[in-house]
Chains A and B, each alone.
Chain A
């Protein structure tokens, strides 16, 4: 499954990191970023990744009083993910309390922790798993398949319009 995902992200422009054990993921991200990094509170993957300690004062948490003003200055946003699809290179990221919608959107680099056990072969397989619990849908569930892109300039794909310029999936092996 990881091989399929690796082949797909080659096309979609996402970078893969890992697989690695969860506690090493936080330090790995901290070592590869500068400046303020926006992170969630209460995300099962991110909370146990050691990211908060590794970032120290660089961490921008959603309970910061000036979070709204700070988020547009963060250099990176980190999220966990519910599921991934190998054939499309997609991850499903749910918003919720402590997990703002802005994290995978406004900072220029999105780092997404992906538990390799949650990678499904196809988008449809992954989608069906979400659809199995329609009562548990978050207010915003977004499927992300790489850095933001546009085809509006003469039908030629240009990367990095509104959303992140770069996306990295950090694969976690438990």
Chain B
């Protein structure tokens, strides 16, 4: 039984965040994510045409999701796959366990898949008496630790090399050296023995093509290819929004996904699977079962929240999020962490889980800018906050016809919420609290240029009094600039006019 103990304990995201900020080891591990900061640059540098094209194809799919799913099913069946539809995670678990029983499988190898995390696939299979092995190195380490992945692309971002060495040493039965090459070689040998014996492979899919029935998967390690080469049964768990209209669209999506996820022009392996093994072929699965998972996703179509279904799971929004980069994934206590997780989790669970997540955001809009398919994440967070406050759940009442498609925020185009359309419902007028009076005074002072200048000058002087090493909510307070932005700009303009 692997179980999923949460590493960062606490009843709320706020409580867990406090623990995470005090955890020096976690802070050291999460600082490694700085090595992925350039992915935001990579997204920004991707040509606008590619991003616009990708965003448009995603919305084209959402405009008739059920239609494309029907086409996908026809195409999959044409190439010899068996298609199952699961409305809920429990349904998907039942289908997968049934397949394992019918095929008399005993040993399962898995490639990395967040969808299988979403349905707690491993626990269900182990309860049914099967052995389950995660074969992606990061997922393997997380499985050995009995945890959940803390990042959707790089599952072990919360672990330092000494902790990873400890986990693998326990598995080896002898101390291993703290050396990446040697640890990798150990994992290679250990996993290879088991992969060569497995009789069932479970995979996800990054994209599923409605015209050809092709499943496209990107990896770097080659473990996925073991999962679709050695075992005689393959099960692919595919959330419904993974469908894309045409095989040719992969030319747009594959490079965009890998560049946004890891900065690679293309991942080391791109595997395109069209049906199970064919007559005359001596390896690959005899049967391919594709399980299409809904889990409330289709109910979002036609509502403002359908934008979230455009997500391609690149993780770029996690890498740039100031909250994620401070507390790491386990503080969210949800399968999907970070900005996309804060939106997706309450939507998938109709507000029964992750209710506090949309509030754990600075609304800085970095996620919106980083998103390669133009999902207005900050807008969706604001909308969720209002819905959770007023309705206790995401309001999916606005159906097709009433809902006009959300205009997309163009990255770099001014304020990240500039495109927000629907105004938030008016708040009930409350008594004049101290807070309201404070804001009113602030508004009055900043209404005059003189008041503004004096107050910012005073704030700059005051900020110098804060000790250099002071921390607030775990973050160091930056030293104020010597001159204000307006002054700097004035000087620059004088300089250039000369």
Q: Which of B262-270, B392-400, B457-465 contacts A (4 or more CB under 8 A)?
A: B262-270
- Is B280 at the interface (CB under 8 A from chain A)? yes
Of the candidates A98, A105, A154, the one whose C-beta lies within 8 Å of that of B222 is A105
Which residue on A lies nearest to B226, using beta carbons? A162
The winner among A72, A152, A154, A156 for most chain B CB atoms within 10 A is: A152
- Cα–Cα distance between A127 and B251 once the two chains are bound (Å): 6
Chain B positions within 8 Å of A158 at CB level: 180-181, 184
- Would A88 and B265 count as touching, CB distance under 8 A? yes
- Cα–Cα distance between A106 and B125 once the two chains are bound (Å): 27
Chain A positions within 8 Å of B280 at CB level: 96-98
Of the candidates A102, A151, A160, the one whose C-beta lies within 8 Å of that of B283 is A102
Known: A62-B282, A123-B266. A149 touches B274 (CB 8 A): no
Q: Which of A22-30, A49-57, A111-119, A139-147 contacts B (4 or more CB under 8 A)?
A: A139-147
Which residue on A lies nearest to B271, using beta carbons? A142
Known: A96-B281, A97-B279, A139-B281. A152 touches B270 (CB 8 A): no
- Which A residues between 115 and 149 are near B, CB-CB below 8 angstroms? 123-124, 127-128, 131, 134-135, 137-149
Q: Which of B1-9, B150-158, B412-420, B433-441 contacts A (4 or more CB under 8 A)?
A: B150-158
What's the count of A-B pairs with C-beta under 8 Å? 183
Chain A positions within 8 Å of B137 at CB level: 150, 152-153, 161
Q: Which of B29-37, B96-104, B320-328, B488-496 contacts A (4 or more CB under 8 A)?
A: B29-37
- Would B220 and A151 count as touching, CB distance under 8 A? yes
- Would B272 and A154 count as touching, CB distance under 8 A? no
- Cα–Cα distance between A1 and B306 once the two chains are bound (Å): 43
Q: Which of B185-193, B347-355, B381-389, B472-480 contacts A (4 or more CB under 8 A)?
A: B185-193
Known: A139-B281, A154-B32, A161-B222. A146 touches B271 (CB 8 A): no
- Would B269 and A160 count as touching, CB distance under 8 A? no
User: How far apart are B485's CB and chain A's nearest CB, in angstroms?
Assistant: 34
Chain B positions within 8 Å of A163 at CB level: 221-222, 225, 268-269
- Would A144 and B269 count as touching, CB distance under 8 A? yes
- Would A90 and B266 count as touching, CB distance under 8 A? yes
Known: A127-B254, A139-B277, A140-B228. A145 touches B267 (CB 8 A): yes
- Would A131 and B247 count as touching, CB distance under 8 A? yes
- Would B155 and A101 count as touching, CB distance under 8 A? no
- Would B225 and A155 count as touching, CB distance under 8 A? no
- Cα–Cα distance between A135 and B283 once the two chains are bound (Å): 22
Chain B positions within 8 Å of A143 at CB level: 266, 269-272
Chain B positions within 8 Å of A162 at CB level: 135, 188, 191-192, 195, 221-223, 225-226
Which residue on A lies nearest to B35, using beta carbons? A155
- Would B281 and A100 count as touching, CB distance under 8 A? yes
- Cα–Cα distance between A97 and B283 once the two chains are bound (Å): 9
Chain A positions within 8 Å of B90 at CB level: none
Chain B positions within 8 Å of A97 at CB level: 278-281
User: How far apart are B319's CB and chain A's nearest CB, in angstroms?
Assistant: 11
- Cα–Cα distance between A152 and B268 once the two chains are bound (Å): 14
- Would B247 and A101 count as touching, CB distance under 8 A? no
- Would B266 and A145 count as touching, CB distance under 8 A? yes
- Would B251 and A144 count as touching, CB distance under 8 A? no
The winner among B161, B265, B271, B274 for most chain A CB atoms within 10 A is: B265
- Which A residues between 72 and 93 are near B, CB-CB below 8 angstroms? 72, 85, 87-88, 90
Chain A positions within 8 Å of B274 at CB level: 137-141
Which residue on B lies nearest to A99, using beta carbons? B281
Of the candidates A72, A87, A98, A141, the one whose C-beta lies within 8 Å of that of B272 is A141
- Would A151 and B262 count as touching, CB distance under 8 A? yes
Known: A123-B265, A161-B187. A153 touches B284 (CB 8 A): no
- Would B184 and A161 count as touching, CB distance under 8 A? yes
- Cα–Cα distance between A65 and B397 once the two chains are bound (Å): 63
Chain B positions within 8 Å of A127 at CB level: 250-251, 254
Per-position 1/0 for B356-396, Cβ under 8 A of A: 00000000000000000000000000000000000000000
Interface size on A, residues (CB 8 A): 51
Chain A positions within 8 Å of B61 at CB level: none
Known: A137-B214, A142-B272, A148-B221. A101 touches B188 (CB 8 A): no
- Is B273 at the interface (CB under 8 A from chain A)? yes
- Would A152 and B191 count as touching, CB distance under 8 A? no
Chain B positions within 8 Å of A95 at CB level: 281, 283-284
Which residue on A lies nearest to B80, using beta carbons? A139
- Would B248 and A131 count as touching, CB distance under 8 A? yes
- Which A residues between 31 and 60 are near B, CB-CB below 8 angstroms? none
Of the candidates A85, A100, A128, A146, the one whose C-beta lies within 8 Å of that of B268 is A146
- Cα–Cα distance between A90 and B255 once the two chains are bound (Å): 12
- Would A150 and B247 count as touching, CB distance under 8 A? no
Chain B positions within 8 Å of A161 at CB level: 137, 184, 187-188, 220-223
- Would A101 and B278 count as touching, CB distance under 8 A? no
User: How far apart are B83's CB and chain A's nearest CB, in angstroms?
Assistant: 17
Known: A140-B272, A150-B220. A128 touches B181 (CB 8 A): no
User: How far apart are A172's CB and chain B's nearest CB, in angstroms?
Assistant: 23
Chain A positions within 8 Å of B170 at CB level: none
- Cα–Cα distance between A152 and B150 once the two chains are bound (Å): 12
- Cα–Cα distance between A90 and B220 once the two chains are bound (Å): 13
Which residue on A lies nearest to B142, using beta carbons? A152
- Would A134 and B275 count as touching, CB distance under 8 A? no
- Would B255 and A123 count as touching, CB distance under 8 A? yes
User: How far apart are A71's CB and chain B's nearest CB, in angstroms?
Assistant: 8
- Cα–Cα distance between A98 and B279 once the two chains are bound (Å): 11
- Cα–Cα distance between A101 and B254 once the two chains are bound (Å): 21
- Is B160 at the interface (CB under 8 A from chain A)? yes
- Would B161 and A101 count as touching, CB distance under 8 A? no
- Cα–Cα distance between A118 and B280 once the two chains are bound (Å): 27
User: How far apart are A97's CB and chain B's nearest CB, in angstroms?
Assistant: 3
Known: A154-B32, A156-B180. A128 touches B248 (CB 8 A): yes
Chain A positions within 8 Å of B284 at CB level: 95, 101, 139-140
List 10 extra interface pairs beyond A68-B283, A139-B274, A161-B221, CB under 8 A.
Answer: A67-B282, A127-B254, A143-B272, A149-B268, A151-B154, A154-B32, A154-B164, A155-B32, A155-B36, A155-B157
A-B contact pairs, 5 of them (CB 8 A): A96-B278, A137-B272, A140-B284, A149-B221, A161-B137
